[in-house]
Amino acid sequence: MAFFMVLLTAAIVVVVFVVCTAMATKRGSETNIRITLAAGAIAAVMVWVWYFNWSSSPERDREQVEKDCNNTTMAFVMSQNFVKQRLKAPSTAEFPYITDRGVRVDIMPNCSFAVSAHVDAQNAFGAAIRNQYTVKMSYNRASKMWSATDLNIQ
């Protein structure tokens, strides 16, 4: 959104520049140029005031909390990283898609998720085996970090 705001401000500056350049060719247009510059500056300031009010509104904060704390796909993907840390051969790990049968991600209170899935990976002897796992994933919105508790690989 900030990128859009920069583009909008640049567009206002370009329009003001073009209008002022066109007016500069006429005699007695100094007042009109000043009015155009002032209007452009006011428009740019109003755009940025709106943006800062919008970005810090309680409604936007609620929307962001809902988005972060209902993101089951991210919880599933992040759980894979914690599972890999516990495997003997993490580079051989293959996980299902979130839409595959046997994958379940439940939303829990306080921006937490219960993830249940499987992983195919090699064991210490090089044999490919399928392990079921469950883990409780938690997202800390302040630090933007994920944590895993109660990781159980069977």
Tens place of pLDDT for every residue, the chain, 154 residues?
778 888 888 998 888 888 888 887 777 778 888 888 888 889 989 888 888 877 777 777 778 888 889 999 999 999 999 999 999 999 999 999 999 999 999 999 999 999 999 999 999 999 999 999 999 999 999 999 999 999 999 9
> Which residue carries 């810090």 as its tokens?
56
Helix axes 2-24, 30-55, angle to 10 degrees: 170
146, two tokens:
């994920």
Q: What angle do CA 103, 109, 112 make, to 5 degrees?
A: 50
Q: How many CA atoms lie within 13 A of 138 on its CB side?
A: 10
pLDDT value of position 52: 80
pTM of the model: 0.65
Rounded Cα gap, residues 15 and 7, in angstroms: 12
**Which of these, 80, 105, 82, 78, lies nearest to 94 by C-alpha position?**
80
Q: Which residues of 65-96 are buried (b: 16+ CB within 10 A; e: fewer)?
A: eeeebebbeebbebbbebbbeebeeeeeeebe
